[in-house]
Amino acid sequence: QERYDYQQIETKWQKQWAERDMFKLKQEGDKPKYYCLEMFPYPSGNLHMGHVRVYSIGDVIARFKTMEGFNVLHPMGWDAFGLPAENAAIKHNVPPSDWTWSNIANMRRQLQTMGISYDWDREVATCHPDYYKWTQWLFLQLYKAGLAYKKKAHVNWCPSCATVLANEQVVDGLCERCDSQVEKKALAQWFFRITDYAQRLLDDLNKLPGWPDKVKTMQENWIGRSEGVEADFPLVEQKGDFDKITVYTTRQDTIFGVTYLVLAPEHPLVESLVAGNPDEENLRNFIKKVLSQSEIDRTATDAEKEGIFTGHYCINPLTGEKVAIWLANYVLVDYGTGAVMGVPAHDQRDFELATKYNIPMKVVIQPEGVDDLVAEEMDHAFEEEGRLVNSGEFNGFINTKALNVIADKMEAEGKGKRKVNYRLRDWLISRQRYWGAPIPIVYCEKCGEVPVPDEQLPVMLPTDVKFSPSGESPLTTRPDFHECTCPQCGGKGRRETDTMDTFVCSSWYFLRYCSPKDSEFAVRKEDADYWMNVDQYIGGVEHAILHLMYARFFTKVLYDLKIVSVEEPFENLLTQGMVLMGGSKMSKSKGNTVSPEEIIAKYGADTARLFILFAAPPERDLEWSDRGVEGAHRFLHRVWRLVQTYGDQFDNVPNLIIDSPDLQGLSGDDRELVRISHYSVKKVGEDIGQRFNFNTAVSTIMEMVNALYQYKDKVSLDQQNLPLVKDALARLVLILAPFAPHICEELWQELGGSDSVYKQAWPAFDENALVRDEVEVVVQINGKVREKLQLTNGLDGETLKAKALENNRVQELIAGKNVVKVITVPNKLVNIVVK
Ligand code: ANZ
Ligand code: ZN
């Protein structure tokens, strides 16, 4: 074949691979296993370059590990529930399920044109009843273990649409659909008790040396462990059920500096402080205003601190002083105890509130050796280390040392207790949405909350739905869905109409891939035992916190329930960088995207893959470059032509790979050919297998191709060692195959290879072949590089000097000058000093 007809080649092999079930997993008993997983995509409609990048990376690894002799699990599926399908349904009047399945079909087709080695028989889609049946079953396992529970939580509520909004649907405090002011409404919501696992999720980060440090740090911060004290401030007068307020502080060393106390506006005590209060109206307006602010707006460091005095007081347990009780926006109800002691001199947020409302400040820490802080003169809080003052018996202590002493005293006197807190909250998993896995619970007037029995799963999501203009979930408006009988007493029941957060579906899909078709189990124990953990997980760093935390949580729960035997799901994690265009992330809204489909049509999938793997190391951002794509394309042409040059010259050369070449008696050029071939195999294998340096692997392959061309151009055909050339070309094709599988499959067949290139073993290399017979020695004159000599390895200094001085060019350059000195470094350098 003369021309590199990539379209014909790619179509042909994709078809043949499919017909021959090439990528169907065959679990061979004597091989070790390798589970290579890329984060599955949301079926938005079309692949984008970010997808091309992550799936190309995964495919190189999967193909390489297959060649290395592993049983490789390399599956693909769809994270298919979620809000965009509902929005599309409302906009275009198509049912979410139709929209989703047609997107899946399109994206599957696009992925297939990339030639990725997926076992499509293992495909899963989270919106398929065979999948969400098990999501529901897992929900029930958590429920039965006491890890799923219902409680009231504040959700975004659009009063005019009469519906709950996801955070993304609230734009600048307004409903995305109708622009009304969004309110916070307390509605009963389902939660998973991930906080029970906070400490384990934190501790076990130490068991993940194969994760990037930045991801582990993000998880650590998200878990946000802190050690402090819960301190009791007795109320001056009992209010309702309360006779004290418990605050959480990590800075009990500052307790003598407390000048007020703050409750979150949602704190349960607040109602009894407000009801009948002379300032009731203002207080209620304030509370309403704060509740309409998002948590982010309330807690951002630069957010305006706002508060209001309740008119009530409590008592500082250590000083006995009367302390005013305030409400403020920056205190959150669901962290610590929802109450904070205000120390304006030493906490910046408190400082800002106190300054704004003229609340007194009291300095209780002086900077060491300076001792001149005066409350009236401060322009920000003093938060550093120092010595305690105005702190009674603790005066003179270094504040960090006083932490323990004061905690001891409070515990001894029953005024407080040490407490560890986590920023991590329980996971709110219910969505008042249609396109998600229905939560398998029935409410019965007699029996209350009743779990749906296993044999009634899945609770099917109706797919023939119409949306009302408000976008309310069709589940709530369809009696045929929510009217049911109670599984326990047979009486009248009402089905839960909330569905699960899509993060629930994606928290266990890596397990389903181990037994994708099983009808008895979510995952078969023996399958999970064989395949887990995922050896290499690849995906975007945007999932560093939520998805990766939830997947770890699920794995730990399933470990505790003895469903799986591993405590961590992902042994190694690679977070690939973004694909940039002109320095910013490719995105539809910026209009700077390049369509993978067009690139593949124009240059072929092999070019697209090769470019994207060559353009940057996988963890770095990658700048899209048309020139780069063309370069990759030209390179493949060059590889093609090289093999074609030899054409029928190989007719009488039986070998492909020569395992241990006979190095004796080879000419210099043949010897170098062998060296380059073996060196390239070694280098590319290490770059892929040990470091994921795909870009340097590709440049090594490019250098190898250059060397092969040099050999071809330099040595006349009748002098060429054709068995060695064929060996070199076979090696080239094998090591390029993980990157550019179609062209390599075609060339492999042309070289006379048997079976598929995908089924070949990664070639071995011979250490002896790596040793250079010749080395390049640089000749400098007065320190400037003037000539390079190819010399036999290992010459001594005297010989080197002689070789350099007899060189023609060197003689020209030093003609008429005095050689003062010659310095030699064996195998490297000759420096001639002249005057
Ligand atoms: C008094 C104090 C003095 C504080 C001081 C800090 C500095 P971490 O480390 O994140 O756990 N806090 C406690 N509960 C809160 C809530 N629900 N909403 C907002 N803030 C809250 O932070 C603990 C500190 O954050 C606590 O220590 C408390 O303020 C505040 F010089 O108590 B501190
Ligand atoms: Zn009942």
Interval between CA 448 and ligand 2 midpoint (Å): 7
Our measurement of the distance from residue 523's CA atom to the centroid of its chain's CA atoms, rounded to an integer in Å, reads 24
Cβ(78)–Cβ(505) below 8 Å = no
Query: Strand 573-576 vs strand 536-540: parallel, antiparallel, or unpaired?
Result: parallel
- Write phi, then psi, for 826 (nearest 5 degrees): -50, 140
The residue whose CA is least distant from atom 22 of ligand 1 is: 250
Exposed, middle or buried, 651 (CB in 10 Å: 0-12/13-18/19+)?
exposed
Query: How much is the pLDDT for 1?
Result: 62
Our measurement of the distance from residue 223's CA atom to the centroid of its chain's CA atoms, rounded to an integer in Å, reads 16
Query: Strand 492-495 vs strand 441-444: parallel, antiparallel, or unpaired?
Result: antiparallel
What is the pLDDT averaged over residues 614-621? 96
The first and second tokens of residue 648, run together, are 């029928």
Q: Is the pLDDT of residue 663 over 70?
A: yes
* Higher per-residue pLDDT: 293 or 689: 689
> Largest Cα–Cα distance of the chain, in whole Å?
113
Q: Which atom of ligand 1 is nearest to the CA of 342?
A: 1
Give 768-791 as a DSSP string.
HHHS-SEEEEEEEETTEEEEEEEE
Alpha-carbon distance of 698 to 736, in angstroms, equals 8
Q: Is the pLDDT of residue 167 over 70?
A: yes
Cβ(678)–Cβ(769) below 8 Å = yes
Which amino acid, residue 505? C
Cβ(442)–Cβ(452) below 8 Å = yes
Exposed, middle or buried, 349 (CB in 10 Å: 0-12/13-18/19+)?
buried
Q: Which ligand gives the minimal distance to the CA of 484?
A: 2
Interval between CA 434 and ligand 2 midpoint (Å): 25
Q: Is the pLDDT of residue 730 over 90?
A: yes
Average pLDDT, the chain: 94
Query: How much is the pLDDT for 439?
Result: 98
Band (pLDDT 50/70/90 cuts) for residue 350 is: very high
Query: Strand 829-834 vs strand 774-781: parallel, antiparallel, or unpaired?
Result: parallel
Interval between CA 321 and ligand 1 midpoint (Å): 20
What is the pLDDT averaged over residues 780-784? 93
Pocket test for ligand 1, best of 335, 380, 423 (most atoms within 8 A of CB): 335
Q: Which ligand gives the minimal distance to the CA of 403?
A: 1
The first and second tokens of residue 486, run together, are 């109670």
* Higher per-residue pLDDT: 178 or 343: 343
Band (pLDDT 50/70/90 cuts) for residue 659 is: confident
By percentage, how much of the chain surpasses pLDDT 70? 100
Q: Is the pLDDT of residue 320 over 80?
A: yes
Exposed, middle or buried, 183 (CB in 10 Å: 0-12/13-18/19+)?
middle
Give 37-78 as a DSSP string.
EEPPPP--SS--HHHHHHHHHHHHHHHHHHHTT-EEE---EE
Quick one: which H or E segment has residue 640?
A: helix 626-646
User: What pLDDT, in 10s, does the model give residues 116-152?
Assistant: 999 999 999 999 999 999 999 999 999 999 999 999 9
Q: Is the pLDDT of residue 637 over 90?
A: yes
What is the pLDDT averaged over residues 285-314? 90
Q: Which atom of ligand 1 is nearest to the CA of 255?
A: 1
Q: Is the pLDDT of residue 472 over 90?
A: no
Neighbouring C-beta atoms of residue 635, cutoff 10 Å: 20
Q: Is the pLDDT of residue 651 over 90?
A: no
Q: Is 305 annotated as a binding residue?
A: no
What sections of 123-212 are H helices per DSSP? 129-144, 198-203
Interval between CA 228 and ligand 1 midpoint (Å): 9
Question: Which protein residues touch ligand 1 with a CB less than 6 Å away?
Answer: 226, 248-251, 254, 264, 330-332, 335-336, 338, 340-341, 343, 346-347, 421
User: What pLDDT, in 10s, does the model give residues 5-42?
Assistant: 999 999 999 999 999 999 999 888 899 999 999 999 99
Neighbouring C-beta atoms of residue 660, cutoff 10 Å: 10
Alpha-carbon distance of 38 to 56, in angstroms, equals 10
Query: How much is the pLDDT for 503?
Result: 95
Q: Name the nearest CA neighbour of 222 among 516, 544, 682, 2.
A: 544
What is the pLDDT averaged over residues 489-510? 96
Interval between CA 187 and ligand 1 midpoint (Å): 27
Alpha-carbon distance of 185 to 208, in angstroms, equals 40
Alpha-carbon distance of 320 to 302, in angstroms, equals 34
Q: Is the pTM of this model over 0.80?
A: yes
Alpha-carbon distance of 818 to 820, in angstroms, equals 6
What is the pLDDT averaged over residues 491-516? 97
| Helix (H), strand (E), coil (C) string for 499-527 | EECHHHHCCCHHHHCCCCCCCCCCCCHHH
